[in-house]
Chains A and B, each alone.
Chain A
Amino acid sequence: MLNTAERSRPTQPAPISADDVEAVGKARGIRNEEPLIFEVGRAEVSGVDLPEPETVTSRLGGLERKTELGLPGLSEPEALRHYVRLSKQNYAIDINTYPLGSCTMKHNARLNEKMARLPGFGDIHPLQPLSTVQGAVDLMQELSHWLMTLTGMEAIALSPKAGAHGELCGMMAIKTALAARGEDATRTTVLAPQSAHGTNPATAAVLGYRIESIPARADGTVDPEVVKAKLGPHVAAIMLTNPNTCGLFEPDIIAIADAVHAAGAFFYCDGANLNAILGKVRPGELGVDAMHINLHKTLSTPHGGGGPGSGPVVLSATLAPYAPVPFIRMENGAPVLIEESVHALEGEQPFGRMTAFHGQMGMYVRALAYLLSHGEDGVKSASETAVLNANYVRVGLRDVMTQPFGDRICMHEALFDDRFLEPHGVTTLDFAKAMIDEGYHPMTMYFPLVVHGALLIEPTESESKESLDQFIETMRGLAARAKAGDAASFKTAPHFAPRRRLDETRAARQPRLRWRPAT
């Protein structure tokens, strides 16, 4: 048979002679530059065909819009290209390892997406009659049961919209419990380790608390004696992350909890790192009074470029009565959604409401699908694997990078400092940008604040051994390059990303926070 392709065009590439050929336009292969919608859209174009409205007598009462909207429109094919081209400028879990410490970038199962889109979940209104949404309430109860059982806690407030919102909810419950004891006016201080997430002090500050910082021990953990010295009748609570932000399980957590309780204060646990211990340890057995669970971390609801999150809070028996509305009450074996404080029974004293409606239902569906898929065996296995993977990376890098707290076992994330870089004139930021050139999203950098030039690596359980080996090899290669004195290549990295390093100073000094027409 005649092979026209072979006859009519060459099928072997010419030998490469010059790399630096400039393209005519701004596109580079299948990577396109994309203007703003305001630069390409037209006010009269729409990608949605709608029927003509019926002619009616307006009931807008003279408040009709007179100023122009000025919103550009795109036809459907133009819109598809705009967003698909932009998407290609993003890194994602589905592309490669995303070792962003503390953020838990694990695999996002597509089954969970499919379930959230069932019309029985996606197309139900929060205020349609409760008799038409019993399946939704059942699902909330089932998720609650899983979360309370796995954490060993007595009660749950599902509605907080994200982790920090959960912190606020838990601390509001604590404040209310203190008020019930007549101690709200005197207990005005919240203790938090220096290594805490910024949300902890920020949350306490929203509620008017004074923040007192607890320094870490030389090994990166909290010393119960230091906590004891800071406790007193003025302390409302301690906010402690466990495993902590250095990736370490607080070995003296029970002594700390006991001391906090003996002083009449509460123990708020930041559950951001629950993914290391879910199914292995029940925080309720460690003396925790309140803890939020980031469904977008531990239970893999998608991070979506920065949310939506979901931050249910589990509560101890002492705090259980104060859970905000809405909450679920079991009546004759069936879950009932209680939406308003006036419907509270004896022993139920909701402190208020965190959000309109009932919280992040779409995330509850995904989280339950995750839990059902894993089962209690899989949940435990996921935690174990997350810890295994982090230690494997730690051991694979410990001779070329530097560990701030000595060579000790970590939980789900491996923490390094910049001592291995400093002598060579390379910063943590430079190192991170060089990782981009190697096809990796950098680890979390410069957090926790207690470690100089911190590099916090969280591989998660989703990575195979091969993938970890490749990551380790790349990191070792970069460390070797730094050591070899090639600081220059780090300073100008990244070289192969859609953008070179961006000028953040200029962005902050001359803020341009929206498009405006050229004048």
Chain B
Amino acid sequence: MRYLPQTDADRSAMLARIGVPDIDALFADVPKGKLVTDPHGLPRGQGEISVERHMNRLAAKNVAAGSVPFFVGAGAYRHHVPASVDHLIQRSEFLTSYTPYQPEISQGTLQTLFEFQTQVALLTGMEVANGGMYDGSTATAEAILMARRLTGRAKAVLSGGLHPHYRDVAETISRMSGGTHEAMPPAPTAEEDILSRIDDQTACVVVQTPTFYGHLVDLRPIAEACHAKGALLVAVVTEVVSLGAIESPGAQGADIVAAEGQSFGNPLTFGGPYVGLLATRDKFIRQLPGRLTGETVDAAGERGFVLTLSTREQHIRREKATSNICTSSGLCALAFSIHLTLLGSAGLAKLAAINHANAVRLAEVLATVKGIRVLNDTFFNEFTIRVPGNAAEIVEKLTQRGILGGVPVSRLEPDRPDLADLIVVAATELTTADDRSMFAAALAEVL
């Protein structure tokens, strides 16, 4: 086996040194009869050639997003990742290191995490951010738990514009952890009366912008209403490129921002691994879960970075910790950070402008298709269309014509027949004018 360096002679010498007759003598504590003696019926080891052949065969059964006109978004976005990002994250020193428990030999990871935290704070308009969560949905769930601890209240009000998977994750954790939640009905048309749901039992209101359906939400009146009742506003962002064009949630009064960071640096990969962002105000840091890197000095007075405030974390505080999170999403956070460093303010603003312009053009051309209605007044790079007929069937027909034409809402809201004619469609900097016209033409054909 190419990954195991020992020879048979090595093994024999080592067993002799240990003073046991054979390997199984090392497993003597295993209860009688529980050592596996029968084969599992699984394949034997293979070299690279056959493993690659097998994997290539599986991969070939999938349609890569880059091989077709592609308009799928809904919480994960196909963006261009600069070549140097993937090169850098494959450096052995980043790829094959672990949590920086020994800061003297982990300054690379620690400094990049410190930079990541700062970038996330700037992007979201918040004072402080942690070193990353698993993804946007779990970051949102953690934000709700955090708001409950901060307010001593149990109820989370979830906007109908929240991504349905995020809503389901939040509902699961609320139900299981003794909290309560009130999920507003899905809001495909931007209109919802969330202010009336905020009362003195409300720990937080969770609002996504742009919403799952693409609408931009003015957070300011919601923040005001929350604060008037002593509740917190959790802002959720699933498309962080939008923050290059839209006012940050922090500037609009959000108390906690939970976001999906995939759009910077991380490929689609069927939904994971991604990186969750969690940012808040300085005064709330003691209740912020996850890893935090802080600046300090070493014994020689040189600037250095360490993991800090770990009395919030499970390995120190055990059942009194802010969260059970341990491993987060280090390498994905690094990819995020490198991509954002390459972009800078100027690059991000331009990237956001291209995304918006391409989506506006897409909305214009789709609106010319007979029977199609664009539901959005506002949007960033994604919006919802109403089709005459069953959206899932139409998307499948488009697929047969070689176009991946968005996400039928019914896939995530299968028990809502009133949403069965809606498709969420996205455009990014990778969407071309040809893609757009092919989409419109195919849509006209299948209707």
Q: Is A123 among interface residues, defined by CB-CB distance under 8 A?
A: yes
Q: How far is the CA of A82 from the CA of B324 in the complex (A)?
A: 33
User: What's the minimum C-beta distance from B257 to chain A, rounded to whole angstroms?
Assistant: 14
Also in contact, A506 and B377, with CB within 8 A (given A161-B273, A384-B23): no
A-chain residues with CB within 8 Å of residue B357 when the two chains form the complex: 53-56
* B168 near A353: Cβ-Cβ < 8 Å: yes
From the candidates A66, A175, A248, A354, name the one contacting B29 in the complex (CB within 8 A): A248
Those of B344-376 within 8 Å (CB) of chain A: 344-351, 353-354, 356-361, 363, 376
Greatest chain B CB density within 10 A among A126, A131, A135, A389 is at A126
Chain A 34-65, CB within 8 Å of chain B: the 1/0 string? Answer: 10111001111111101101111111110111
Q: Which of B196-204, B226-234, B264-272, B439-447 contacts A (4 or more CB under 8 A)?
A: B264-272
Q: How far is the CA of A503 from the CA of B109 in the complex (A)?
A: 17
Q: How far is the CA of A37 from the CA of B113 in the complex (A)?
A: 12
Q: Is B243 among interface residues, defined by CB-CB distance under 8 A?
A: yes
* A305 near B245: Cβ-Cβ < 8 Å: no
Q: How far is the CA of A44 from the CA of B131 in the complex (A)?
A: 26
Q: How far is the CA of A91 from the CA of B100 in the complex (A)?
A: 9
Greatest chain A CB density within 10 A among B309, B345, B380, B415 is at B345
* A306 near B270: Cβ-Cβ < 8 Å: no
Q: Is B20 among interface residues, defined by CB-CB distance under 8 A?
A: yes
Q: Is A321 among interface residues, defined by CB-CB distance under 8 A?
A: no
Q: How far is the CA of A279 from the CA of B3 in the complex (A)?
A: 17
Q: Smallest CB-CB separation from B125: which chain A residue?
A: A67
* B27 near A135: Cβ-Cβ < 8 Å: no
* A53 near B354: Cβ-Cβ < 8 Å: yes
Q: How far is the CA of A351 from the CA of B105 in the complex (A)?
A: 43
User: What's the minimum C-beta distance from B98 to chain A, rounded to whole angstroms?
Assistant: 4
Chain A 94-127, CB within 8 Å of chain B: the 1/0 string? Answer: 1100101001010111010111111111111111
Also in contact, A369 and B51, with CB within 8 A (given A89-B106, A280-B36, A498-B104): yes
Chain B 404-434, CB within 8 Å of chain A: the 1/0 string? Answer: 1001000110110000000000000100000
Q: Is B39 among interface residues, defined by CB-CB distance under 8 A?
A: yes
Known: A71-B119, A508-B309. 9 other contacts (CB 8 A): A48-B342, A59-B360, A69-B244, A72-B344, A113-B95, A281-B27, A305-B334, A392-B17, A514-B121
B-chain residues with CB within 8 Å of residue A79 when the two chains form the complex: 84, 338, 341-342
From the candidates B31, B67, B411, name the one contacting A127 in the complex (CB within 8 A): B411
Those of B44-59 within 8 Å (CB) of chain A: 44-48, 50-52, 54-59
* B114 near A98: Cβ-Cβ < 8 Å: no
Those of B76-94 within 8 Å (CB) of chain A: 76, 78, 82, 84, 86, 88-94
Q: Is A478 among interface residues, defined by CB-CB distance under 8 A?
A: no
Chain A 342-360, CB within 8 Å of chain B: the 1/0 string? Answer: 1100000001111111111
* A50 near B351: Cβ-Cβ < 8 Å: yes
Q: Smallest CB-CB separation from B116: which chain A residue?
A: A514
Q: Is B191 among interface residues, defined by CB-CB distance under 8 A?
A: no
Q: Is A254 among interface residues, defined by CB-CB distance under 8 A?
A: yes
* B74 near A127: Cβ-Cβ < 8 Å: yes
* B345 near A71: Cβ-Cβ < 8 Å: yes
A-chain residues with CB within 8 Å of residue B35 when the two chains form the complex: 280-281
* A373 near B51: Cβ-Cβ < 8 Å: yes
A-chain residues with CB within 8 Å of residue B6 when the two chains form the complex: 385, 388, 464-465
* B123 near A69: Cβ-Cβ < 8 Å: yes
User: What's the minimum C-beta distance from A475 to chain B, rounded to whole angstroms?
Assistant: 15
Q: How far is the CA of A105 from the CA of B318 in the complex (A)?
A: 24
B-chain residues with CB within 8 Å of residue A506 when the two chains form the complex: 296-297
* A409 near B96: Cβ-Cβ < 8 Å: no
* B61 near A69: Cβ-Cβ < 8 Å: no
A-chain residues with CB within 8 Å of residue B315 when the two chains form the complex: 197-199, 447
Q: Is B193 among interface residues, defined by CB-CB distance under 8 A?
A: no
Q: Is A387 among interface residues, defined by CB-CB distance under 8 A?
A: yes
From the candidates B134, B296, B358, name the one contacting A503 in the complex (CB within 8 A): B296
Q: How far is the CA of A7 from the CA of B216 in the complex (A)?
A: 73
B-chain residues with CB within 8 Å of residue A465 when the two chains form the complex: 5-6, 10, 13-14
B-chain residues with CB within 8 Å of residue A251 when the two chains form the complex: 29, 31
* B72 near A100: Cβ-Cβ < 8 Å: no
Q: Is A512 among interface residues, defined by CB-CB distance under 8 A?
A: yes
* A120 near B356: Cβ-Cβ < 8 Å: no
* B58 near A120: Cβ-Cβ < 8 Å: yes
* A41 near B104: Cβ-Cβ < 8 Å: no
Chain B 241-271, CB within 8 Å of chain A: the 1/0 string? Answer: 0011111100100000000100000011111
Chain A 156-183, CB within 8 Å of chain B: the 1/0 string? Answer: 0000011111011000100100000000
B-chain residues with CB within 8 Å of residue A374 when the two chains form the complex: 1, 3, 45
B-chain residues with CB within 8 Å of residue A127 when the two chains form the complex: 72, 74-76, 407, 411-412
User: What's the minimum C-beta distance from A270 to chain B, rounded to whole angstroms?
Assistant: 11
* B46 near A373: Cβ-Cβ < 8 Å: yes
* A and B contact pairs by CB, cutoff 8 A, 15 listed: A50-B347, A59-B378, A66-B247, A71-B119, A122-B269, A127-B75, A128-B70, A206-B324, A248-B29, A305-B99, A305-B109, A354-B138, A359-B272, A374-B3, A499-B298
A-chain residues with CB within 8 Å of residue B399 when the two chains form the complex: 129, 131-132
Chain B 1-16, CB within 8 Å of chain A: the 1/0 string? Answer: 1111110001101110
Also in contact, A100 and B98, with CB within 8 A (given A92-B92, A115-B55, A497-B105): yes
From the candidates B30, B63, B100, B145, name the one contacting A206 in the complex (CB within 8 A): B145
Also in contact, A90 and B97, with CB within 8 A (given A55-B357, A307-B330, A308-B330): yes
From the candidates A61, A74, A280, A499, name the one contacting B104 in the complex (CB within 8 A): A499
* B84 near A76: Cβ-Cβ < 8 Å: yes
User: What's the minimum C-beta distance from A399 to chain B, rounded to whole angstroms?
Assistant: 13
* A43 near B346: Cβ-Cβ < 8 Å: yes
* B177 near A206: Cβ-Cβ < 8 Å: yes
* A53 near B356: Cβ-Cβ < 8 Å: yes
Chain A 450-491, CB within 8 Å of chain B: the 1/0 string? Answer: 000000000001111101000000000000000000000000
A-chain residues with CB within 8 Å of residue B45 when the two chains form the complex: 372-375, 377-378
Q: Smallest CB-CB separation from A303: which chain B residue?
A: B98
Q: Smallest CB-CB separation from A33: which chain B residue?
A: B302
Q: Is A376 among interface residues, defined by CB-CB distance under 8 A?
A: yes
From the candidates B93, B122, B163, name the one contacting A88 in the complex (CB within 8 A): B93
Q: How far is the CA of A248 from the CA of B396 in the complex (A)?
A: 54
User: What's the minimum C-beta distance from A312 to chain B, rounded to whole angstroms?
Assistant: 12
* B96 near A94: Cβ-Cβ < 8 Å: yes
Q: How far is the CA of A94 from the CA of B6 in the complex (A)?
A: 18
* B270 near A100: Cβ-Cβ < 8 Å: no
User: What's the minimum C-beta distance from B127 to chain A, rounded to whole angstroms?
Assistant: 8
Q: How far is the CA of A113 from the CA of B267 in the complex (A)?
A: 13
* B72 near A362: Cβ-Cβ < 8 Å: no
Greatest chain A CB density within 10 A among B39, B56, B63 is at B63
B-chain residues with CB within 8 Å of residue A80 when the two chains form the complex: 84, 88
* B168 near A164: Cβ-Cβ < 8 Å: no
* B96 near A93: Cβ-Cβ < 8 Å: yes
Q: Smallest CB-CB separation from B279: which chain A residue?
A: A514
Q: How far is the CA of A136 from the CA of B246 in the complex (A)?
A: 35
Q: Smallest CB-CB separation from B98: which chain A residue?
A: A303
* B346 near A129: Cβ-Cβ < 8 Å: no
Greatest chain A CB density within 10 A among B61, B96, B119, B294 is at B96
Also in contact, A286 and B5, with CB within 8 A (given A71-B123, A79-B338): no
* B292 near A357: Cβ-Cβ < 8 Å: no
* A125 near B346: Cβ-Cβ < 8 Å: no
Chain B 319-350, CB within 8 Å of chain A: the 1/0 string? Answer: 11101111111111010001011111111111
* B27 near A280: Cβ-Cβ < 8 Å: yes
Q: Is B160 among interface residues, defined by CB-CB distance under 8 A?
A: no
User: What's the minimum C-beta distance from A472 to chain B, rounded to whole angstroms?
Assistant: 10
Chain A 384-428, CB within 8 Å of chain B: the 1/0 string? Answer: 110111011001100000000000010100000000000000000
